[in-house]
Structure 1
């Protein structure tokens, strides 16, 4: 808790320094570990797995209460379903493989999602418009996408369509949630963004095991593995338009064939996809991402109507850390804590929030 408070009080410049220092601190012991390994063990590569015939259902719950605050991005939920390999109509598969976005040897899946995000200013007890803080806003959306995985690379293309404004039901959800918990009731929802249809197209590419090593014959663990997964991506639409890049480091036992736990956007990417090998596995993960933001409706305000807005920052950075556990061949549980640099000029400190996620294969 003390660490969280100190991070919340950092300036953007010092926060970015923390990101890079953290990566260096992680890289040094990993490099030393790699040098201690048998070269043959680090060069061995497991053959890619065959087609996966399981559906994967995921549920995510994000909230700023994990960071001890109630402001800005304050709550998000997402429910998703990922189809088995090859569960794609032939004409869609042919079109996907004709694009340079997907490899020819990738196994294609279809993803479906439904979610809601809620944003508020810091002083939710004020009924009047707060000019120097972000607008009240909600985003209710459904999504459909294509996922391609070939054992070493994951490509995701997803289209989200929904509604921003009172029709998103964000006011009702937050108000009832606060009443249930007997905490401060938000009073300023009359100042939220107006109703506006939203559309955004996301694309992400992640390279799994760009660098990896294993330590075997440990006294306590059968095997400890390390890997680094870089990613690039972006979004285009009236809700979000941005470019992003970063990387994620994992350390654990029986690193499953996945790309990190799923998380809400915009965020360091994870994936609904996972395919464990052993009965029980776990890993710690840490990552960084930088985004160049051209459009964020939750800061810029409505596209076609006058509304409350703030002066957004074009460069935003995220730092995350967490733990994922796989139970048997069917369940993955994860917690992610994220720190985000200031998103608008009037903001006085970075934000932080946590995400709980559960994915089940069947």
Structure 2
């Protein structure tokens, strides 16, 4: 694509995202030296790891990150018009499907709990474009989905609780109404801002900034992740389900066996959270949210060959007035390169 007559940025980006599944791979000579493996990741987050069953109670996500060599030349050219993507950086695209659900503290109560958060579900799909320079990762993602009964969160939670013999949720009649949702998210991470590698061990610090805009989430975030391990793999930490400290579906092992311990912190300035503020276009239950939310996490990631397994334990500060305590949950992610 010539730079003499550039197309508008938004037009090029939109066309790129919508056309990802309709085009062939790049024919660039550089593709021959690039990573030819994509990454399939399955993420599961649940408060059962903290012996709880409330608040953000469950999240699942299936995602695919393309190989470096599979991104069409025209999409790379379109991405290069974006001022926050480095022209010479390697590009990948991502696709994901997921479901998240939220519930009040006591799910056995069938009546509306006005002082606790609403029942809510979020069923979504995302398409994204990633730019990796080796030391910096830029991630632009568009997410579309449905909140409300169409999210199928009620059926999912009821089925799981019946299967495992847990308390049956009785209050889903008071969940948020059906509402289509959209989120545009941008994140930037700097890998190896600080690095130290004595005797084969490695340590690094990866700061990040980001922002989301939409009727589901609107917030700005800043934070950092610290890693300590042996033969640190080339990644930006294990992925998480939003809103969260960002990681990356991408990883590229440097040896057969590797791994690291990690810890991170993030602060978010929250303008909108539909799961607390209630529906945008109709009346629904809501609570008064706090404008600032903090989150800390710690965990371990292990890579063996082309497989990565990670566990993260998360502590999130109170999100709304009257909340009984901070949220605590765990996250497991299994990723495969092929």
Distance of 1:168 and 1:246 partners within structure 2: 30
Query: Aligned-pair distance for 1:72?
Result: 0.6
1:352 aligned to which of 306, 328, 333: 328
1:251 equivalent in alignment to 2:234? no
User: RMSD in angstroms over aligned alpha carbons?
Assistant: 0.8
Q: Is the 8 A contact 1:87 1:108 kept in 2?
A: no
Distance of 2:183 and 2:70 partners within structure 1: 24
Distance of 2:191 and 2:138 partners within structure 1: 11
Query: Aligned-pair distance for 1:55?
Result: 1.1
Matched residue, 2:177: 194
1:59 equivalent in alignment to 2:36? no
1:333 equivalent in alignment to 2:316? no
Distance of 1:178 and 1:271 partners within structure 2: 31
Query: Aligned-pair distance for 1:96?
Result: 1.1
Matched residue, 1:6: none
Matched residue, 1:279: 256
Query: Aligned-pair distance for 1:90?
Result: 3.0
Query: Aligned-pair distance for 1:311?
Result: 0.2
Return the TM-score normalized by structure 2.
0.90
1:324 equivalent in alignment to 2:301? yes
Matched residue, 1:268: 245
2:139 aligned to which of 156, 166, 171: 156
Classify the secondary structure of the residue corresponding to 1:262. coil
2:114 aligned to which of 128, 131, 148: 131
Structure 1 stretches lacking a partner, 5+ long: 1-49, 217-222
2:62 aligned to which of 76, 79, 92: 79
Query: Aligned-pair distance for 1:67?
Result: 0.9
Query: Aligned-pair distance for 1:66?
Result: 0.5
Query: Aligned-pair distance for 1:104?
Result: 1.2
TM alignment of 1:1-362, pairs within 5 A? 51-216=34-199, 223-328=200-305, 330-362=306-338
Classify the secondary structure of the residue corresponding to 1:299. helix
Q: Which runs of 4+ in 1 moved over 2 A?
A: 86-92
Classify the secondary structure of the residue corresponding to 1:105. coil
Matched residue, 1:11: none
Distance of 1:207 and 1:51 partners within structure 2: 21
1:315-352 per-residue CA deviation (whole Å, 9 max, x = no partner) reads 00000000000001x10000000000000011131010
Distance of 2:324 and 2:99 partners within structure 1: 26
1:50-86 per-residue CA deviation (whole Å, 9 max, x = no partner) reads 5211010000000000011100100000000000114
1:148-202 per-residue CA deviation (whole Å, 9 max, x = no partner) reads 1111111111111000000000000000000111010000000000000000011
Distance of 1:276 and 1:106 partners within structure 2: 19
Structure 2 stretches lacking a partner, 5+ long: 1-32
The number of residues matched between the two structures is 306
Classify the secondary structure of the residue corresponding to 2:76. helix
Distance of 1:293 and 1:199 partners within structure 2: 16
Q: Is the 8 A contact 1:86 1:107 kept in 2?
A: no
Distance of 1:269 and 1:155 partners within structure 2: 11
Distance of 1:64 and 1:263 partners within structure 2: 14
